[in-house]
Structure 1
Amino acid sequence: MNYNERLSGNEAIAFAMKQIDPDVMAAFPITPSTEIPQYFAQYVANGEVNTEFVPVESEHSSMSACIGAEAAGARAVTATSSAGLALMYEMMYVAASSRLPITLACVNRALTGPININNDHSDSMGIRDAGWIQIYAENNQEAYDNFLQAMPIGEHPSVRLPVMICQDGFITSHALENIVLLDTDSVKAFVGEYRPEHFLLKAENPLAIGPYDLGCHYMEHKVQQAEAMKGAKKRILEVAAQFAALTGREYGLFEAYRMEDAEIALVLIGSSAGTAKVTVDALRARGIPAGLVKIRVFRPFPAEELAQTLKNVKALAILDKAESFSAQGGPLFAEVRAALYDLEPRPRTVGYVYGLGGRDITPAHFASVFARLEAIAAGGELGPVYSHLGQRG
């Protein structure tokens, strides 16, 4: 049964955790994700969950505790942001390479320096190649729904990878929105019990977790990880179909918004998509064939599916809320442009980095990008392929 509630994004994630009732939560506070363990610790104190809450001395320890719990056969969750995720860096690789399906709520925040506590995607993009599945939300409803889908994805025998559920710090994490919640019994039935095949406390099958791996085995294990990430795409879609049957809310690898006949389009991630949709609708009202693709799943990257969706677009702008310092654009730009390489003809493509450190993005900014795309689609000069949007001169 669905029912309506008004929650912030952080409350929505904490409530999803409460409904799932994981075995272990290990956490260390950091803005803007602090509220998630704060709310959840209250559920623990009130006896509303059976979870073992482990307050630790750092985010490195938080991920270490989750790794130990998952390796022992428990279902473990945590939450962090920005420098907290960076401090977990070493252990993020350990979790993925050990094939431990931990679920992490990442409330995206800029990394220092200079010191900044506001939103961009530099934290999760900085760890994008650690082997974690990454799923992004536009709004609070998606944050809640994505978290419920994380465990059926990551824990499946064909995947067995950790999952990072991302939402934009303060923009969604602290803003109140009306969302639709599932009843707890439905959540428990959908998520299911965690029944790992192998774990440290299984006496009849002793094993090691994260052993020293020499050159004779290391590459084979990395290939297994890579194949699991490929297989995760299918599992993500299977879980989305099951979730749609339960809730009526449909999810895919990305959302194609008004793309049926689009000739100019944007590709971006996160809450900015809501603002961009306003601009798309305004342009459509004027007869301009604009569209938008909002990436939901960044790892595994939906390259083939994106190419099919974008193959008829004449001019495309890819917008990153993180700077990769490659001198060639942001990480999303590199991935999307590579995905389009084999198309003939392919869209003429430009990349923007925007919104760093919480810099506002408005419909007027998106309108200026679409105006440029119109000129490019009409045969105009491409201009600089990589630029920044919204910075002062």
Structure 2
Amino acid sequence: MAKKVIETSKAVAIAAKLCRPSVIAAYPITPQTHIVERIADFVYDRDMDSEFLDVESEHSALSACLGAQAAGARTFTATASQGLALMHEILFVTSGMRLPVVMAIVNRALSAPINIWGDHSDSIASRDSGWMQFYVESAQEALDRIIMAYRIAENKDILLPAMVCLDGFTLSHVFEPVDIPEQKEVDKFLPSYSPLYRLDPKKPISMGPIGFPNSFMEFKYQQQEAMQKSISLIKKTHEEFSNIFNRSYGNGLIEEFMTKDADYAVMAMGTITATARHVVEELRKKGKKVGLIKVKTFRPFPEEDIIKAASKLKAIAVLDRDISFGQHGALFSDIRSALQNKDIIINNFIVGLGGRDVTSDHIKTAFDKTIKAKQTITEWLF
């Protein structure tokens, strides 16, 4: 295992290479571009035995991955923002056909106004498309979670596609030390792709036919069952990965920091959690019983783990880098639903939209307002 200081986008590209996808289909879009550029270089230099399809749109990119996956290939793609929005139709087709495509999402705000900087509005808008969603904090975690995503998605009891989400620019363009595992180690952890069914002219089958009213609900029920089953598999896969590579991210669903005796905690996803961790350490030195709960997996939503982690708290500050217009932040809505029977004040703070910096002061303000709150509040921290 070699440690190198590399750009997070390159770490994602290396992760894809280590997973040996047969087909990569992609269309460049800021801030995802560096990922597919690096992969294109790997393929051109013959460091990667894959077909690279440079298609004309993101809709075509995911459509190509869908077709290749249906034919029995392991696939990879990456996108962001309007690109993910353009894929929206095919997101549902991919998950409904139970094709375990893995896709990196370099989180970026959705237009308008046009904005190329990071927030979670793109992937959050796709949260109900039947894809698993994992949110990462560091370059190392981005690499590791892509490897784990394939292992989870391709499990015969799951067969669901997965998004590995990393904050645009704030993480995607940052250089960090990354342990790069040996290919043989990854091959041992992630066997070659062996689908239950595939399109084969010698053994013809139909994939993606019409679902009539007397069968459509059964298809959706099976997807929901698979998504729920993935909760335990995510934990198991994370534990196995940790034992082999000596790295862990909580239990793969959530990660707690200084919560054992905490009265108040911040909950968040992505790079915000790195800043929040330092704020927690600073406030602890001042005698405040505060902690941090990082939500690592948003779909499936880890409801039982959230309840267990939060049940001892007096109040929670949920930081959302998204907004569900007419409601609240998406993470807040799910957490409030999970904790509806608990006597806990849950506050929502909308932060960091369109790449706005989320500073230590923002998080201190969220803590201060939450400690003082007598009832639930929702505020935008500019």
Structure-2-length-normalised TM-score = 0.98
**Is 1:217 the equivalent of 2:215?**
yes
What's 1:44 paired with? Answer: 43
User: What is the 5 A alignment of 1:249-328?
Assistant: 249-251=247-249, 252=251, 253-326=253-326, 328=327
Letter matched to residue 125 of structure 2: G
Moved over 4 A (4+): none
Answering whether residue 367 of structure 2 is matched by residue 389 of structure 1, we say no
What is the CA distance between 1:207 and its match in structure 2?
A: 1.7
Q: 1:359 maps to what in 2?
A: 356
Instruction: Give the alignment of 1:1-393 within 5 angstroms.
Output: 2-201=1-200, 203-204=202-203, 206-251=204-249, 252=251, 253-326=253-326, 328-343=327-342, 346-376=343-373, 381-382=374-375, 385-390=377-382
Letter in 2 for 1:225: Q
Residues 293-330 of structure 1 show CA distances to partners (whole Å, capped at 9, x for unaligned) of: 1110000000111011100100111111001103x311
Q: Once structures 1 and 2 are overlaid, which stretch shifts more, 12-21 or 99-108?
A: 12-21
Distance across 2 between alignment mates of 1:172 and 1:305: 26
Q: 1:290 to 1:129 in 2, by over 3 A?
A: same
CA RMSD of aligned residues (A): 1.0
Q: Distance in 2 between matches of 1:294 and 1:84?
A: 27
Give the C-alpha shift of residue 202 in structure 1: 6.7
Code of the aligned partner of 2:303 = A
State how far apart, in whole Å, the 1-side matches of 2:164 and 2:29 are: 16
Identity %: 40
* Residue segments in structure 2 that go unaligned for 5+ positions in a row: none
CA distance in structure 1 between the partners assigned to 2:80 and 2:258 by the alignment: 33
Is the CA contact (8 Å cut-off) linking 2:349 and 2:366 kept in structure 1? no
- How far apart in 2 are the matches of 1:99 and 1:238? 21
Matches of 1:360 and 1:76 in 2, distance apart? 34
Q: In the alignment, residue 153 of structure 2 is paired with which amino acid?
A: G
Kindly state the Cα deviation for residue 109 of structure 1 after the two structures are TM-superposed.
0.4
TM-score normalised to structure 1 length: 0.95
Q: What code does the residue aligned with 2:367 have?
A: F
Amino acid at match of 2:145: N
Asked whether the equivalents of residues 329 and 387 of structure 1 are also in contact (C-alpha less than 8 Å), the reply is no
User: Contact 1:267 / 1:292 at 8 angstroms: preserved in 2?
Assistant: yes
What amino acid is the match of 2:173?
H
Secondary structure at the counterpart of residue 337 of structure 1? helix
Unaligned 5+ segments in structure 1 are none
Q: Distance in 2 between matches of 1:122 and 1:202?
A: 41
1:203 to partner: Cα distance: 2.8
Amino acid at match of 1:158: D
Q: Distance in 1 between matches of 2:86 and 2:137?
A: 26
CA deviations 1:312-370 (Å, max 9, x no partner) are 100111111001103x3110000001010123xx2111111110000111111111111
